[in-house]
């Protein structure tokens, strides 16, 4: 029987697991305090438990400062904050080299995105900036860049094209800098050999495999990874940065956010009568996905909604009112926290990040 | 009438000049104290006089630490020492990233070549290490690497392939690092906009054009360049690092050097009688080229040899004795100077270059 919180069909992911040798995630009891593990949203991994059980370990993620931050990005933030709260060293790379060279974002704009869209929201979502190692690719260190340069000598164009498709010079550069993001913590100039976890969406697995291969070639510990599911777009289909109505941006103003919430795709039936009789088709319902991924932490609360929906007791209109209330609370709280931390974050950006 | 010191047919170079828009070098009186200008060995340039007449100017060259240093490399050293003696800021990039990623030289070996083959000889040939800015690509600075990274976003793969042929990832990386070698002096973190001269062999012109295009795109001053002729291989044909008998290596031991000197191709005739009658064919004579390029500074002395040869007064045997004496003096002096400076150079390498 399907868990109430396993709304997405896992079959697609099983194919990925089989094809690329990703290990299915079987979370231990310890991890059950995290809803992404508990609800099967993180469905696979490579060497996760080597990381989890290691004495020397850290996590790393990248921020691409090329557009608005949305709920899809929030999934990584939540995971990083979870690990940071467990006392695990947290590194965050602002991928501004990549934004500038491959997405043609002007330097100043990339810096603005990094702060306004990302860092402020990361802190509002719980990141402890003082304890994290946040850096910009344009401003890291000589050993970091040296590693990126030398890694470029350890692979071939054919190998890269097989993974990344057509390459531009900027893309080639960015790939090795991204590889150095993941591997440089293991340099002697940083913390030496250690287990580094990179939590990503499953579409990032090719990068992970590429970097794991490079790690092996230079006798570093292969980085670990976890894979989470994609979020569905608010109106169905893919959630995509290029389609504003497909996502809730963390900086959307409240009227915009509430309007997007009103338009979220549900699993509603053709008529109220039919829905009372059959219950909602929750497997298609993006409202429910939003609850499960983001807005309802408590399993009992989520389970009640699941039952009220599938039994036909609660119709979509009522449920959307709940969603809108959750969205309003979340967005208001987030905005307040952004503003409360603005001075600190801007000072950090100016003095440390882009010094 | 051909100058006595213009031994190589200039026609081949004229073709290059016409095809690629290189400006023929017409040295001013001021430059006549340098034999490479005086003897037409430096035959072309781009924007040389913009550099020469600028208040803010520097020169830059690269050292590729992937094999022995020979007389072909010495031509660049002599030019750099010339400019340094005029008070012009001199920058030297040890291209170890390139040696490691594109020529598969192990890191330790690249460092060894850099010191044993190159730096020691540069200093022995007159470089003032204290006044020069000598650095290794693996160890420059964050702004230098940042520039290399960002430059990669300003061109296309097609453009690069047209210039460099087939590319490996290491080659792509090296090309932008080399571009940053030439352009980074103009960063605010270094000396700001200035005229940078890169003295090269004419085969390097495609790199120069590529970097000049990049300079324009980022609103830097386009670097200037001079082009010198190739040296002929000792036994005729090309001088090539992969053919030890084609070059005199600065670290060759004396018996090897003298043996190579004995075998240098001359413009001798079939018989002594014929040579007495017709004179030597000095246009084919590599001994004469060695004098003109390296071993005879005094024009009168060179002219006398020219006349004695072409008039049939002096035959090749006698001339080779002169060459061998010059080679012995040069190699002995160079070795003494290397050893006299060894401690200083090794300390510099350890503390500054590869710190």
Give the max Cα distance, chain A. 67
For residues B114-135, average pLDDT: 98
Q: How far apart are CA B123 and CA B111, in angstroms?
A: 16
Three-state secondary structure call for residue B318: helix
Name beta bridge partners: B196. Answer: B58
Same domain, B220 and B72: yes
Strands B133-136 and B42-46: unpaired
Same domain, B80 and B115: yes
- Give the pLDDT score at B238: 87
Same domain, B133 and B213: yes
Task: Give ipTM to 2 decimals.
Answer: 0.92
Query: Any idea which residue has 């039919």 for tokens?
Result: A274
- Decide if A42 is inside a domain: yes
Name beta bridge partners: A196. Answer: A58
Residue B230 clears pLDDT 90, i.e. is over it: no
**Domain end residue (candidates: B207, B233, B259):** B233
**Domain end residue (candidates: B208, B233, B258):** B233
Contacting B residues, span 154-173, partner chain A, CB-CB under 8 Å: 155-157, 160, 167-170, 172-173
Same domain, B82 and B209: yes
pLDDT digits (tens, 9 = 90+) for A214-251: 999 999 999 999 999 989 999 998 888 889 999 999 99
Same domain, A65 and A190: yes
- Decide if A6 is inside a domain: no
pLDDT digits (tens, 9 = 90+) for A192-202: 999 999 999 98
Q: How far apart are CA A157 and CA A155, in angstroms?
A: 7
Burial class of residue A7 in the structure, from the number of CB atoms within 10 Å of its CB (0-12 exposed, 13-18 middle, 19+ buried)? buried
For residues B120-126, average pLDDT: 98
pLDDT digits (tens, 9 = 90+) for B246-287: 999 999 999 999 999 999 999 999 999 999 999 999 999 999
Residue B12 clears pLDDT 80, i.e. is over it: no
- Give the pLDDT score at B18: 80
- Give the pLDDT score at B180: 98
Contact A152 B101 (CB under 8 A): yes
* Residues of A in Cβ contact (< 8 Å) with B152: 101, 169-170, 172-174
Contact A153 B170 (CB under 8 A): yes
- Decide if A349 is inside a domain: no
pLDDT digits (tens, 9 = 90+) for B37-54: 999 999 999 999 999 999
- Decide if A236 is inside a domain: no
H or E segment to which residue A229 belongs: none
- Decide if B93 is inside a domain: yes
Instruction: Supply the pTM of this predicted model.
Output: 0.93
- Decide if A151 is inside a domain: yes
Interface A-B: count of C-beta contacts within 8 A: 96
- Give the pLDDT score at B202: 87
**Domain end residue (candidates: B233, B261, B282):** B233
Residue B17 clears pLDDT 90, i.e. is over it: no
Pick the residue from chain A with its C-alpha nearest to B168: A157
CATH value at residue A327: 1.10.240.10
Same domain, A208 and A141: yes
Residue A9 clears pLDDT 80, i.e. is over it: no
Same domain, A281 and A173: no
Same domain, B40 and B144: yes
Three-state secondary structure call for residue B201: strand
Output b/e per residue, B270-288; b: 16+ Cβ within 10 A: eeeeebeeebbebeebbbb
- Decide if B3 is inside a domain: no
CATH value at residue B122: 3.40.50.620
Q: How many domains does chain B have?
A: 2
Residue A5 pLDDT level (bands cut at 50, 70, 90) = very low
- Determine the length of chain A: 355
What is the gyration radius of the CA atoms in chain B, in angstroms?
Answer: 21
Q: What is the mean pLDDT of chain B?
A: 94
Residue B95 clears pLDDT 90, i.e. is over it: yes
Contact A152 B172 (CB under 8 A): yes
For residues B221-237, average pLDDT: 95
Its domain, for residue A258, covers 244-335
Same domain, A321 and A269: yes
Q: How far apart are CA B162 and CA B147, in angstroms?
A: 23
Alpha carbon dihedral A88, A145, A100, A244, in 10-degree steps, equals: -20
Query: What is the separation, in whole angstroms, between the first and last Cα of chain B?
Result: 54
**Which residues, in sequence order, are CB contacts of A247 under 8 Å at separation 6+?**
A68, A70, A71, A72, A233, A234, A239, A240, A241
Same domain, B248 and B127: no
Same domain, A326 and A189: no
Pick the residue from chain B with its C-alpha nearest to A141: B142
**Which residues, in sequence order, are CB contacts of A52 under 8 Å at separation 6+?**
A197
Same domain, B182 and B315: no
For the ranges A5-19, A278-292, B29-43, the lowest mean pLDDT is seen at A5-19
Q: How far apart are CA B298 and CA A287, in angstroms?
A: 89
- Decide if A305 is inside a domain: yes
Any chain A CB within 8 A of the CB of B262?
Answer: no
Name beta bridge partners: B89. Answer: B58
Residue A10 pLDDT level (bands cut at 50, 70, 90) = low
- Give the pLDDT score at B215: 98
Query: What is the separation, in whole angstroms, between the first and last Cα of chain A?
Result: 54
DSSP string, B173-239: HHHHHHHHHHHGGGSTTTT-S-EEEEEEEGGGHHHHHHHHHHHHHTTPPPPEEEEEPPPBPTTSSB-
pLDDT digits (tens, 9 = 90+) for A52-94: 999 999 999 999 999 999 999 999 999 999 999 999 999 999 9
**Which residues, in sequence order, are CB contacts of A71 under 8 Å at separation 6+?**
A231, A239, A247, A248, A250, A290, A293, A294
Any chain A CB within 8 A of the CB of B176?
Answer: yes
Residue B290 pLDDT level (bands cut at 50, 70, 90) = very high
- What is residue A131's DSSP assignment? T
- Give the pLDDT score at B10: 55
């Amino acid at each position: 029987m399907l868990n109430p919180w396993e709304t997405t069909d896992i079959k697609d992911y099983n194919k990925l697991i089989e094809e690329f040798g990703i290990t299915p995630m079987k979370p231990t009891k310890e991890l059950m305090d995290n809803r992404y593990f508990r609800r099967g949203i993180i469905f696979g991994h490579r060497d996760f438990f080597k990381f989890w059980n290691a004495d020397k370990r850290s996590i790393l993620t990248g921020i691409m400062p090329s557009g608005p931050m949305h709920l899809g990005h929030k999934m990584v933030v939540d995971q990083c904050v979870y690990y940071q709260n467990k006392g695990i060293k947290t590194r965050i790379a602002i991928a501004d080299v990549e934004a500038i060279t491959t997405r043609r974002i002007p330097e100043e704009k990339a810096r603005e995105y990094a702060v306004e869209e990302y860092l402020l929201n990361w802190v509002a979502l719980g990141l402890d900036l003082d304890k994290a190692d946040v850096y910009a690719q344009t401003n890291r260190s000589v050993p970091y860049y040296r590693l990126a340069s030398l890694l470029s000598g350890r692979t071939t164009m054919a190998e890269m094209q097989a993974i990344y498709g057509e390459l531009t010079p900027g893309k080639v550069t960015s790939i090795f800098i991204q590889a150095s993001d993941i591997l440089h913590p293991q340099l002697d100039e940083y913390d030496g050999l250690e287990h580094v976890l990179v939590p990503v969406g499953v579409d990032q697995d090719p990068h992970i495999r590429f970097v794991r291969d490079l790690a092996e070639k230079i006798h570093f510990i292969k980085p670990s990874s976890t894979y989470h599911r994609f979020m569905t777009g608010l109106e169905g289909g893919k959630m995509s940065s290029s389609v504003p109505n497909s996502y809730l941006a963390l900086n959307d103003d409240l009227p915009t956010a509430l309007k997007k919430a009103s338009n979220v795709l549900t699993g509603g039936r053709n008529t109220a009568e039919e829905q009372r009789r059959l219950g909602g088709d929750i497997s298609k319902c993006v409202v429910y996905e939003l609850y499960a991924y983001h807005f309802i932490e408590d399993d009992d609360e989520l389970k009640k909604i699941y039952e009220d929906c599938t039994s036909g007791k609660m119709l979509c209109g009522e449920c959307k009112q709940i969603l809108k209330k959750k969205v309003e609370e979340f967005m208001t709280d987030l905005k307040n926290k952004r503003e409360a931390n603005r001075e600190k974050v801007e000072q950090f950006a100016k003095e440390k990040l882009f010094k």
